[in-house]
Amino acid sequence: MMSVCNIGELLKMNSTLTSLGLEGNHIGVEGLKRIGEALAVNTTLLTLNLSANDIGDVGSQYVSSALKENNSLSYLDLGANEIGFIGSSEIAEALQVNRALKDLKLSYNQIDDDGFQSICEALKRNTTLTSLSLGCNNIGDVGSKHLSSALKENEILASLLLDQNQIGEEGLRSICQALRVNHTLMDVSLYRNNIDHGSQILDEELKVTLFE
């Protein structure tokens, strides 16, 4: 059986592989370190699935370092990896300089409002990411305010998934306010949050937008 170390070495030398799925392998921090080192020099891999691999905050640092150097990877799935505040902050730092990644999945982690703030700050500078998934985290109304601020400046994000978080009516209003000036976001999913009167709020906000 090929070890993670072997895969890392393979990625350093390979010039044809464009897609790699390693989900559910419990790679862990050491394994991620090897893969991160390979990604920093690999120029052909476009799609990488690392979901459910026990990466955690420490492993996220290796992902961040790789993304700062990599210029080819366009799709990355880091879902279900126990990534929290430190890890999301590290990834956000990479998003500020990365110019290749278009689709990032961070669902089923432990990202709260503080961690989400770092990501939102990165969205103000990022010019390539078009799809971001953050379902099943711990993002609430405070995080939605950070998002609102980011969406007023971001001019590239088209799809945003925030299902099963803790966003309430106040958070929805913040997002709607940003949509008045944002002209690139086409798909926002807020399934199973804490929004009790969502249709009323959307109706009110859309009327304001239409008649301004």
What pLDDT is recorded for position 209? 46
Sign of the dihedral defined by the CA atoms of residues 116, 101, 10, 65, in that order: negative
Look at residue 55 in the predicted model and tell me its pLDDT: 93
End-to-end CA distance of the chain: 63
Residues in the chain, overall count: 212
pLDDT by position in tens, the chain (length 212):
456 768 888 899 889 999 999 999 989 898 899 999 999 999 999 999 999 999 999 999 999 999 999 999 999 999 999 999 999 999 999 999 999 999 999 999 999 999 999 999 999 999 999 999 999 999 999 999 999 999 999 999 999 999 999 999 999 999 999 999 999 999 999 999 998 865 566 656 655 443 34
- pTM, two decimal places: 0.93
The predicted structure's pLDDT at residue 199:
55
Which run of H or E residues covers position 21? strand 19-21
Q: Which residues pair with 189 in a beta bridge?
A: 161
pLDDT at 9: 87
Provide the pLDDT for residue 208: 47
The H-assigned helical ranges of 71-185 are 85-95, 113-123, 141-151, 169-179
